[in-house]
Structures are given as C-alpha cells and as structure tokens.
Amino acid sequence: MYDLTGFQRDLLYVIAGLEEPHGLAIKEELEDYYEKEIHHGRLYPNLDTLVDKGLVEKGEKDRRTNIYSITGRGKREIEARREWENQYVEEGILAS
C-alpha cells in the first residue's frame, strides 16, 4: 500500500466499508469527508488504478452502473497498514 496516494488509500477504505458501492456512492462518501467536490476525472482513474493493482474488483450492477468490492489482497493491505499505523499512533498517544 506504500505506493498508493492518500486519496487512493481513502478510496480503498471507503470501498471496504460499504457493501458493493457504486462510483456515485463512493464519490459522495469522500465529498462528505473532504468537504469539497470530487470530480469524475479524479475519481474514476484512481478507482481504475486500484483495480489494476488487484486491490479492488470492478463489476457491473447494470449497463450504466459499476460496483466495486475489496479483494482479499486489498483486505490484507489494509490490515498491514493498520498494524503499521498502530505502532506509531497508539504509542504516540499513550506517551502524551
């Protein structure tokens, strides 16, 4: 996951937290978090990058709507990232 941008990591977390989200649902979640509009030209190329890296699967809900789901590799990457973060965040918070 070290080679992902922060935005790509956030996409991965949102996809992992929702059940088969479509692009618009992911976009809305991130707009709520970032408190600004996420343009399609930013969203979809980054989703495609996650698919290309094998972290997310892309499927069709219908002819117009794609759905996304986290892969096993994506879950493992999130778990590894959380373990790495915890060694710094938990220790840092407890030391304060």
Going 83 to 45 to 20 to 71, the CA torsion angle's sign is negative
Task: Assign domain 6-95 to its CATH architecture.
Answer: Orthogonal Bundle (1.10)
The domain spans of the chain are 6-95
Return the pLDDT at 5.
Answer: 96
Per-10-residue mean pLDDT, the chain, length 96: 93 95 96 96 97 96 92 96 87 61
Return the pLDDT at 94.
Answer: 61
Which alpha helices (DSSP H) does the chain contain, by range? 6-17, 23-34, 40-52, 72-95
Say whether pTM exceeds 0.75: yes
